[in-house]
């Protein structure tokens, strides 16, 4: 048997479809899509070289000690051009938007699943799955509001507006979105339409069933002292925090394990 080696060079992964469509449980499968951030052709080639492929004693799969990447054993593969409309060098926002939205997702750098010219939201694969009755979610070892996961669950013209991305995740209407900024008694910050209106009309975006990752600070009301209490206070009508992940009875599971990226928390066994 040829040994198989799996390498993770990236930070973010996407979980799509936590449940099968109600009307098609017998035929449709669940889907998990993994994204290694920056994991293009060159890193894959470098990984194969690091495994020793191409050396005299490891030229063919039948050679002793020849190691194969798991992705090289897949039946099909494809390549995606992720450069943006205004640069050959992409960033995570338009790059991930191409994965999330297909060809329409190819927009300018820093734009997430949004037509920057018209202001119209571009449907993501999670939105399409949601329409088919799937439960959908995002899991990331980076901030859950980082451009890569955000491209699947939000629509915004500037990737660094991560507070607004967080609000889009947990709001299902414009009114709820505004209420997130107004609901906490611990903050003096209040929603202002001329400054804070960022949702397409009508409200577009994915109502996520699972959100796991870092970036807790983007879900906090200003001046809030308690991370999880703040999340509940800010979105008590929209999100159920299920810290134990045991019963699965809550309609939404939110796990924010770090103020920034969740890598250190995962390393220290703070999460499963």
- Predicted confidence at residue 41, as pLDDT, reads 86
Q: How many helices (H) and strands (E) does the chain have?
A: 9, 7
Asked if residue 227 lies in contact with residue 185, where contact means CB atoms within 8 angstroms, the answer is no
- Predicted confidence at residue 61, as pLDDT, reads 73
- Predicted confidence at residue 226, as pLDDT, reads 45
- Predicted confidence at residue 179, as pLDDT, reads 73
* 15-59 pLDDT per residue, tens: 443 444 445 455 667 888 888 877 888 888 888 888 888 777 777
Asked if residue 69 lies in contact with residue 53, where contact means CB atoms within 8 angstroms, the answer is no
- Predicted confidence at residue 222, as pLDDT, reads 53
List per-residue pLDDT tens for the chain, 272 residues long: 444 333 333 333 444 434 444 454 556 678 888 888 778 888 888 888 888 887 777 777 777 777 888 888 888 888 888 889 999 988 999 999 999 999 888 899 999 998 877 878 899 999 888 888 888 889 888 888 899 999 999 888 888 888 888 878 877 677 777 777 666 554 455 666 665 555 555 455 567 888 888 887 777 655 444 444 544 454 433 333 434 444 444 445 566 555 555 444 444 443 33
Cβ density class 23-39: b for 16+ within 10 Å, e for less: eeeeeeeeeeeebbbeb
CA distance 61 to 43: 21
Within the chain, residue ranges assigned H as helices are: 41-50, 92-101, 125-131, 147-153, 162-170, 174-182, 193-196, 227-234, 263-267
CB atoms within 10 A of CB 60: 7
Within 155-236, residue ranges assigned H as helices are: 162-170, 174-182, 193-196, 227-234
- Predicted confidence at residue 13, as pLDDT, reads 40
Residues pairing with 254 in the sheet: 211
- Residue 239's H or E segment, with its range, is none
- Predicted confidence at residue 247, as pLDDT, reads 46
SS3 of residue 138 by DSSP: strand
Residue/partner pairs of 38-44 with CB below 8 Å, 24 or more apart = 38/9, 38/10, 39/9, 39/10, 41/79, 43/9, 44/69, 44/71
Asked if residue 216 lies in contact with residue 256, where contact means CB atoms within 8 angstroms, the answer is yes
pTM for the model stands at 0.71
By residue count, the chain amounts to: 272
CA distance 162 to 146: 7
For residue 270, what are its two tokens?
């703070």
- Predicted confidence at residue 21, as pLDDT, reads 45
Asked if residue 181 lies in contact with residue 196, where contact means CB atoms within 8 angstroms, the answer is yes
Residue written as token pair 């999100």: 239
Q: How far is CA 60 from the centre of its chain?
A: 37
């Amino acid at each position: 048997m040829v040994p198989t080696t799996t390498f993770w060079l990236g930070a973010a992964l996407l979980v799509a479809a936590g449940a099968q469509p109600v009307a098609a449980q017998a035929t449709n499968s669940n889907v998990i899509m993994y994204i290694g951030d920056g994991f293009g052709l060159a890193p894959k080639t470098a990984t194969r070289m690091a495994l020793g492929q191409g050396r005299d004693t490891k030229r063919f799969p039948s050679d002793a000690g020849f190691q194969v990447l798991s992705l090289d054993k897949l039946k099909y593969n494809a390549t995606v051009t992720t450069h943006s409309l205004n640069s050959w060098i992409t960033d995570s926002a338009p790059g991930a938007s191409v994965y999330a939205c297909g060809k329409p997702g190819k927009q300018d750098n820093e734009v997430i699943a949004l037509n920057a010219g018209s202001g119209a939201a571009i449907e993501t694969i999670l939105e399409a799955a949601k329409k088919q009755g799937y439960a959908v979610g995002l899991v990331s070892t980076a901030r859950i509001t980082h451009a890569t996961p955000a491209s699947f669950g939000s629509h915004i013209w500037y990737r660094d507006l991560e507070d607004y991305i967080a609000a889009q995740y947990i709001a299902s209407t414009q009114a709820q979105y505004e209420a997130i900024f107004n609901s906490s008694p611990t903050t003096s910050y209040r929603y202002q339409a001329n400054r804070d209106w960022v949702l397409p009309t009508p409200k577009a975006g994915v109502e996520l069933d699972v959100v796991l990752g870092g970036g807790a600070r983007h879900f906090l009301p200003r001046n809030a002292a308690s991370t999880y209490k703040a999340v509940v206070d800010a979105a008590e009508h929209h999100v159920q925090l299920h810290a134990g992940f045991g019963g699965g009875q809550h309609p939404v599971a939110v796990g924010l394990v770090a103020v920034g990226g969740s890598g250190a928390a995962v390393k220290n066994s703070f999460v499963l």
